[in-house]
Amino acid sequence: MEPSTRIAFSSQQNSFKEEVKLTMTLGWPIILSNLTQILLPIIDGLMVGSIDSNQLAAASLVINIATIPVILCLALPMALSPLVSSALGKSDNSSPLKLLVNGMLVGGLFALVLALIFYFGSGIVYHLGQDQEVAFLAEGYLVIIGWRLIPVAWFVALTNFSEGLGKTKMVMIINLIALPINVFLNYLLIFGNWGLPALGLNGAGYGTLLTQVIILIAFIYYLATSKSFAEYRKELQSAFKVDYAIIKDIFRIGLPSGIQFSLENGAFAFSGLMAGWLGAQQQAAHQIGLYISSLTFMISMGICTAGTIRVAFYFGKNDWALVKAIGRSTLILASLIGAVFSCLLILGYNYLPRLFVSESEVIEFAKIVLLMAAIFQLTDALQATSAGILRGIQDVKVPAYLGLVAYWLIGIPFGYVFAFQMDWGVSGLWAGLIVGLSANAFFLMIRFFKLIKPESRKIVGELI
């Protein structure tokens, strides 16, 4: 990779320790960026949860409704990081900006369509078997989340463009700036401080929307003026045109990846809807489990993204020995991190729910949920990382099918049986998720190590 990326990419196979160091050098700013992005809705949850559990349950309902379409929307610009990194592996410095422009176009249009669907279809919240007060609170929040998708899609495109170039620290800094801005705006709009109206959950939505717009503008300004991106602005005029070949590549990588992400997140979301059938308290407990497990997952995703970028670079160079070494070391690193988080959740399950709510019944349900979340940390880290390194070699279609089997033909049916037939309640839903995540981790790891064998590399070439 060119020196301007500021990331040291080795040209020869390293020891396990050295590979981990290279992945972490690239990955730790991504981890902080991911944590910051996921903290935005968690901050919303913490602040509205202090009002009452119905506000938290309404946030959960909206997240569950929006998960699948949102993931599909954001997965298209997320395709940029492996495509940009692979282009640099081929010493092609003219393609990254073209990829960014077309990625922003595709992501922005998709986000606009979803925003309009959420706006005109917000009444769906009353037809999902949920508590009526929860549904009423959720309706306006769903509309706000829809409009927020447009700046988020553009921001994700910019993020993946920069990460594909190896410029991860700058992305981290911009994301960190978002946290105090979001807390301040939420403080004003949720509780009605400084003479503003108290908007509750809707205030959280507006605060996060405004935060996203602010950091998007900051990101575009930095990209347009920074010397570190000057090399990629040389083809500025030619980059600003629709390139159907690039759009095809974005859909080729992004759409199956989006389906794969949606199948996993959709399983969690559908479990959240089923939790709503068990009552507002168990639904709120389910959302607390999602908030906390999403934090640990974002760390795994940071490692996964770093692995994706490094694998994609050497895939572009056709260096399969390093693809294998990076993939293997990234999986080991992910498993170690997953094991650490399992231990931390077991140690903290009795205290963490109290950060969100004070209602004793919700806290007791949430304790059980967090113990279940502790169990799947290892397999969740492995399945996310396996999917990432497969994405690095542009293998995305088969993993999507495997996700369908693991989550929707195995995980969700098991969860339903555990929760409703065996009367385990919300803990049964999470037991089903454990089964689905474990199955997917097994499927994807087998897939990766099969494809990197010399006799299978022709198959990879046919996939793209």
Per-residue pLDDT, 165: 87
Q: What is the pLDDT of residues 188-209, one digit of tens each?
A: 998 888 988 888 888 888 998 9
Per-residue pLDDT, 462: 54
- Which residue type is seen at 69? P
Paired tokens of 71: 């993931």
Distance (Å, whole) CA 84 – CA 160: 8
Position with higher pLDDT, 27 vs 444: 444
Per-residue pLDDT, 199: 86
- Is it the case that residue 410 has pLDDT exceeding 70? yes
Q: What is the pLDDT of residues 448-460, one digit of tens each?
A: 999 887 756 555 5
Structural contact between residues 385 and 437, judged by C-beta atoms closer than 8 angstroms: no
Per-residue pLDDT, 8: 47
Position with higher pLDDT, 49 vs 445: 445
**Share above pLDDT 70 across residues of the chain, in percent, rounded to a whole number:** 94
Mean pLDDT calculated for residue range 119-144: 85
- Is it the case that residue 442 has pLDDT exceeding 70? yes
- Is it the case that residue 289 has pLDDT exceeding 90? no
- Is it the case that residue 40 has pLDDT exceeding 80? no
Question: Which single residue is written with the structure tokens 């992005």?
Answer: 37
Per-residue b/e over 39-66, b at no fewer than 16 CB within 10 Å? Answer: bbbbbbbbbbbeebbbbbbbbbbbbbbb
Per-residue pLDDT, 385: 93
**Share above pLDDT 90 across residues of the chain, in percent, rounded to a whole number:** 30
Mean pLDDT calculated for residue range 158-172: 88
Structural contact between residues 460 and 393, judged by C-beta atoms closer than 8 angstroms: yes
Distance (Å, whole) CA 398 – CA 174: 35
Question: Which single residue is written with the structure tokens 């969860």?
Answer: 415
- pTM beyond cutoff 0.85: no
Mean pLDDT calculated for residue range 371-399: 90
Per-residue pLDDT, 463: 52
Mean pLDDT of the chain: 85
At residue 7 the predicted structure's pLDDT band, cuts being 50, 70 and 90, is: very low
Q: What is the pLDDT of residues 295-310, one digit of tens each?
A: 888 888 888 888 888 9
Counting Cβ atoms within 10 Å, is residue 351 exposed (0-12), middle (13-18) or buried (19+)? exposed
Q: What is the pLDDT of residues 226-248, one digit of tens each?
A: 888 878 777 776 778 888 888 99
Q: What is the pLDDT of residues 66-88, one digit of tens each?
A: 777 777 777 888 889 889 888 88
